[in-house]
Every structure is written in structure tokens, then in C-alpha cells.
Amino acid sequence: MNIVLVGYYGYKNFGDELLLLWLIKYLNKHYKISSLSIVSPERVWLQERLERHWNEYWFFEEIASIKIIDAVPSISSEVDMLVIWGGEVLTDARKLPYNGRNYLLRYRHYVWHKKLIFAGGIGTIIRPGTHFLYNRLLWTAQSVITREKYSYEIVKKYTNKGILHKDFAYDALEWIDAKSLISSIPGEYSILNCNTHIYTPASLEKITQWVKVQEWLGRVLYFIAWTAGEDDSDLVIYHKLKKLFPTLNYLDRTKYSIKELATLIWWAKHGLAARLHVVLMLDWAWIPYEPLVYQEKVQRLLDKE
């Protein structure tokens, strides 16, 4: 089967990179992929990251061909299935048309020929008209793979093709025997993550108190920017926090594979995080942590829905 995968790939977001690996495995298990094309604006970056993970995840070898392309083929007859993945693949939390309405326009041929699979979270309906959007897209889809119960319950209102599956990041992490590995960071340390969306006076006060406690316990502090690049919102916050807390160190996650970064988080003593998959990894590793909640999907993770 010739499958094209569309998501937030190549934008240097570690969470999406983490999800991509096990989504590939899941799709190959259920659809027997002969050719897989991943749409990405940063082909070189994504290729380098995939090659880095190649030896850690053996299932890449099961797929005959993996290509990185610039755009979804406009002629749907060339593709057997278009898979659209997102942390919240349909959500009113995003501005129009990025809540899903753009799919009706950009991928209308795939919608018409029912060659769609959605995978990820489905957001709560807030805006008028979203009911129509969900009805059109979810009913048309060949399958809707949801990552938590709340999304699954929404999908059930529109189609019987919903599948409840845990977040693919858990699959990728459970493959790693982190407790048998050794962290490359010596001594006791704690992990911090924050971005511009949650950098508020209330959050800053929470961060300040957290830093004081961790320093009192003698732990080295590391800030992880979940996305990469000088214009990254996480990195912007790191520079602001560094001025307030000179002992805060920067952990460049682009230098690590998924296995290596998972090991670093596994052996951390505590965490304070905003990004969904930083919170998820802390949760997976049974590390005591405090969340900075700014998205529905983070709250759902905390609620274990």
C-alpha cells in the first residue's frame, strides 16, 4: 500500500518526532506498507533524525521504501491512503482554518474518495460549525485512531471506525529499557521545560519556587527546549529564565536520539514541564513532576482519560 503521512514533521519538534516512529510501525502492521512518503518542509533535518533512530528501532527495515516529500500529491489516484496525524488533529483550540477546515480544501480529493485516516487527539467542540466539520471528516475517514478516551468518545458520535489507542509516544518509550542504561549526565539533576504560551506571572512564580527547592536539594537544573532553532518559543523562555536563575543549564536535545533522551529523563530526580510530551515522558519514567497546563491535551493526560 502506498501511504502518504502528513503531520508536524520536520519542524524540529521532538514530540512529533517521537510519535512518528511508532505511528510508522502501527501503520505497517495494519496496512502492510510498500511505500511510505512523509510530507515535510525540512527534508534534510527529518532525514538525519530518522537515520539516527534507524538502529534503535528495527521496524524501519520492514518497509520497502520511505521517502520525504515536499507536498501531498495533488492526484489522489497515486496514493492509497492519506494519513493525517496531530497532537490534536482536529481542534477548536486553533484558529480558522487550522482547526481542520483546511483539510476540506487542501485534501478535498482524498475526502471525496474516502482515502483518509486521522490519528491523534480530537478536541472539544467550541465554535459553531465544528459539528458539521467533524461530521464530514470523521464520517469520511477510513479509520480514526485516537490516543485517549475523551477523543474516542467524540469520534463515536460520528463514526463506528474509531480506534482507541494510547499515545504512540508510550509505545516508543516502552521499547526502551531505560533503567538498564546509564545517563550521560552525572549526579542529581532536575528537568525544566516551558514556552511562551504558558509564561505568565503565575507560572513564573511556580518556576521560581520550584528552582529554589531544587537548588536547596543540591540538584543541577537543565532546561529542555522541545523544539529547535533560534526562533523557538522554548528557547526564548530559556534565555529569559537564565537571567533570573544563573545556575540553569541548557540541554540541547538535538544532540540526542530518542533512546538517549529517554534515559536522561528516566534518571532525573524531578521535573516541571509544559510541553505535552515532556510531561508524558516524566509520567512514563515515574519521575515526580509538576505540570504547567496550557492545552486541553495536557489536561487530558493528567486526567488519564
176-232: pLDDT as tens digits: 776 777 778 889 999 999 988 888 999 999 999 999 999 999 999 999 987 765 457
Q: CB–CB of 34/2 below 8 Å?
A: yes
Positions of the chain with pLDDT under 50: 230
Would residue 304 be called left, alpha or beta, if left means φ above 0 and alpha means ψ between -120 and 50 degrees?
left
For 52, other C-beta atoms within 10 Å of its C-beta total 16
Residue 186 sits at φ, ψ, to 5 deg, of: -80, 160
Here the cell at position 226 is: 522541545
Domain ranges for the chain: 2-174, 178-303
DSSP for 116-176, please give it: EEEEEEEPPP-STTHHHHHHHHHHH-SEEEESSHHHHHHHHTT-S-EEE---HHHHHHHT-
pLDDT at position 59: 54
What does the pLDDT read at residue 230? 47
Amino acid (1-letter code) at residue 95: K
Q: Look up residue 67 and give its amino acid.
A: K
Question: Is the preceding peptide bond at 97 cis, omega within 30 degrees of 0?
Answer: yes
CATH of 178-303, one of 3.40.430.10, 3.10.20.600, 3.40.50.300, 3.40.50.2000: 3.40.50.2000
CA distances from 237 to 120, 126, 203 (A): 27, 30, 12
Fold (CATH) for 2-174: Rossmann fold (3.40.50)
Q: Please give the Cα distance from 237 to 246 (Å, whole number).
A: 14
The structure's pTM equals 0.83
Give residue 262's pLDDT: 87
Query: In 3D, which of 173, 149, 135, 138 has the Cα closest to residue 53?
Result: 173
Query: Which three cell numbers mark 10?
Result: 520536520
Tell how strand 220-224 and strand 66-69 pair up.
Answer: unpaired
- The pLDDT assigned to 220 comes to 96
pLDDT reported for residue 116: 93
Task: At 298, give phi and psi (nearest 5°).
Answer: -70, -45
Residue 66, Cβ density class (10 Å: 0-12 exposed, 13-18 middle, ≥19 buried)? middle
Please give the Cα distance from 229 to 234 (Å, whole number): 9
